[in-house]
Structures are given as structure tokens and as C-alpha cells.
Amino acid sequence: MTRLWLWPPSVPPCLLRWTQLDSRSFFWNVAPGAESAVASFVTQLAAAEALYKAPDVTTLPRNVMFVFFQGEAFDYIGSSRMVYDMERGKFPVQLENIDSFVELRQVALRESLELWMHTDPVSQKNKSVQSQVEHLLTALEESGAGVPTVVLRRLNQSQPLPPSSLQRFLRARNISGVVLTDHATVFHNRYYHSVYDTAENINVSYPGQQSPEEDLDFVTDTAKALADVATVLGRALYQLAGGTNFRDTIQADPHTVTRLLYGFLVRANNSWFQSILRQDLRSYLGDQGPLQHYIAVSSPTNTTYVVQYALANLTGKVVDLTREQCQDPSKVPNENKDLYEYMWVQGPLNSNGTERLPYCVRSTARLVRAVSPAFELGQWGSTEYSTWTESRWKDIRARIFLIASKELELITLAVGFGVLVCSLVITYCINAKADVLFIAPREPGSVSF
């Protein structure tokens, strides 16, 4: 079982903006996914924050829904479940209520500043869809014109879509959509879904001799580049949602991007992630390393919770509620538990660094189940829905025996041989002088009285 989650709860018409959360590799739970997943969902988080800060975002004619899919690395589990629920009226938004899609895939390894816009040639045979796609491309190009470090490129309309969640929606209905990637035809990522798709693969590095806290706030070149992509995306979404007054003021924060990259790729157990999580979730950050993005079978992965709380803190509102009120807001006037999620987070350390300053965050970030429909339908041999599963768990154990160095082995042999020789010599000498060294006591004579 995996999870997908959304922001905000939306009513028609709406724009869907999504990316995937998960990655995979040959080994279970070893999936760093730097370029495969992290760079794209970090960019989306930054774009959500930038759009949220627009002064008139709550009055736009169209809503924007940010979706983070789990299970996409295993035949699009998250997106196929969302389509399945939409078709059956089990999702707040229906397929016909969606105006358009913008999807982020691999975006961290751009060459010559280029970002490629992929579209679907089959759905564009419908003139209405073609017109909507053209409107999407134009909005993205106009937004990119104000960011010189991002150059948006169109592709030949006959070129098919790359692997993307949009394909699952197009199988159900012709919808206008664009997939943004850092490549035109061939992946730049040599380590796609590999154990080597680490921070180094997307050039995330830090100066030596810095403390972890200094690394957390050090804005890398990759963070600046992804922030620029998030800025273009945020401005385009603002325009597509009907905004006109503040498009050019929307700006993604590189400081947010660098903190997210550090947390997801270098060290999850850092002061910022600790401050935005509930106390009972702190153990999900692990010890010293990054989070892994391999999906779980029966529970949400750690990444799911951390991204949810990051989104809530970046786009939510801090409300003046006590811990008890935050955990049960139904008893508080003017608070709506059905519309909002309330999270009591640890908060930052105080000035003395001894105690935390917790607070309540109100947001519209929600978790939704993303189990493959094949398991709900009982169609284990389905060719329509993913039927990936883990068939067996078995611990692998090994014992390691250390071998000493050659020098130590020779010293041990020499000392042992020397002890043996000395023992033989001493034993021979003692045996030869035994009659002198060991005089037998005389028998006592008879005594008369």
C-alpha cells in the first residue's frame, strides 16, 4: 500500500500539477532517487510555496491542485488509482473537471539551460485539446521569458510522450497536458532508478570544513537552478489559473530548495525537518543519512510524511491554538476539521537551545490511499492495473572473519616458534638435572622408646 496526497481540495475548474515521490533500485530500500524523483518534487514544493505567497491566490478563477504520486516507479500505481477513483466518483475532483495538467519529471540535469516541453501527439488530433495544449505551451513560454536561466523548448508534435503519469490519464480521457523534463529524447541521467542516483549525480556538493547546520543553509548551484524552474512553473500556473496582476513578482526561494535537497539527499535528521514534524514522527528521519524513496507494501514511506509536513509548513498557516485544540479542532469555533488538516509540530529550538517552541499548522495537505485497483478488484492477472507485490521476506545473514596482515602472521609464527624452542630446551635441561633438582625424601627410620 502506498500513498498519494494533494493540495488544495479543489472544485471545478482546476489545474493539476503533479510529480512522483518514489524511486527504486535493484536493492530494497536503497533508492536515493536524486534525479529520478527528488529534484522534481522539491521543485514542485518550491513552486507551491511561491504560488501560495501571491497576494490574490485565493481569489483566482481556477484552483490549482498539487499532487504527489507514490508507486509511479512500479507501473504508475498512484496515478492509476487516482484515475480509477475519479471515474467512480470516489475522488473530490472528476476527470471532466480538470482543465489541464503540468507534470515535472527529471529536471536537475539541464544542458545549456534548456527545459523541454513534451506533449501527446495522439490526443492533439482533437482540435479542442490541441488548442488547450497550445495555450499551455504559450503560458509556459511567457513565464520563462522573465527567467533568463531557463530556456523552454518545444518538441516536434509527432514525438510521443516520455514515461509519465500523464499517460494514465490520457488512457481514460483526452486532456491537455505538458511534461517538463531536462532532456529532449534521451535521458541525461545515467543512473535512472539506481543506487548511484545520489546527491553527487545532480551536482549537490558543499564546501569542506562546514558544520551540518551550515550545509543546511548553504545555497548550492543546483538549488538556484531548481528554484528558477520553480519560479517559471509558479508564474505559469498563476497565469493559467487566471491571475494577471502579480505574475512577475512570483519568485521561488532558493533557500527553501537548498534545505529540501539537503534534507532528502544528504541528512534527513536536521534541525529544519525536526522543527516541521510531529514529535512522534521524528524517528522517521533516521540517524545520519538521507531518506530512501523505495515504496512500502503496507504503510506509507517516511518520504510521504516528510513531504506532507513540508508542504503543510510551506503553504499552510500557523494558527493560535493549544496542543489540545490543534489535535481536536472540532471544539474550536471558526475551525473546520473537514476542510483543513491540523498538525501540532515540534517547532524550532528556543534561543537557549534547550526547549522547542511548538505550534499548530493548518493546511489543506491530505493523504489519500494509492493501492493498485487490481487488488481491490481481485484481478491478480490484470493487464490494466499494476500487480507488483513483494512475494517473500527473508533475512540474509553472513559472518565475516577478519584476516590478519602478513606482518602480524609472521610475528605470531616467530613468537610461537620461539616459545616452542625455549620450552623444549628448558624441559630438556630440567629432565637432565632431575636427580639433582628433585631429591626424593628419605624414609623415616624406626623409633624406639
Query: Model confidence over 54-107: pLDDT tens digits?
Result: 999 989 999 999 999 999 999 999 999 999 999 999 988 889 899 999 999 999
Q: What's the pLDDT band for 39 if we cut at 50, 70, 90? A: very high
Query: Model confidence over 295-304: pLDDT tens digits?
Result: 877 667 889 9
Give the mean pLDDT of 159-181: 94
Query: Model confidence over 389-414: pLDDT tens digits?
Result: 776 677 788 888 888 889 999 999 99
State the chain's mean pLDDT as an integer: 90
pLDDT surpasses 60 at 4: no
Got the DSSP string for 108-137?
SS-STTEEEEE--TTGGGSHHHHHHHHHHH
161's CB contacts (< 8 A; 6+ apart) are 118, 119, 120, 167, 170, 179
Structural domain boundaries of the chain? 14-311
Got the DSSP string for 184-252?
SSS-S-TTTTSTT-SGGGGT----TT--HHHHHT---HHHHHHHHHHHHHHHHHHHHTT--SSGGG---
Domain 14-311, what fold? Answer: Aminopeptidase (3.40.630)
Give the mean pLDDT of 36-44: 96
Q: What's the pLDDT band for 387 if we cut at 50, 70, 90? A: confident
Q: What's the pLDDT band for 2 if we cut at 50, 70, 90? A: very low
What pLDDT does residue 448 have? 53
What pLDDT does residue 417 have? 95
Beta bridge partners of 181: 116
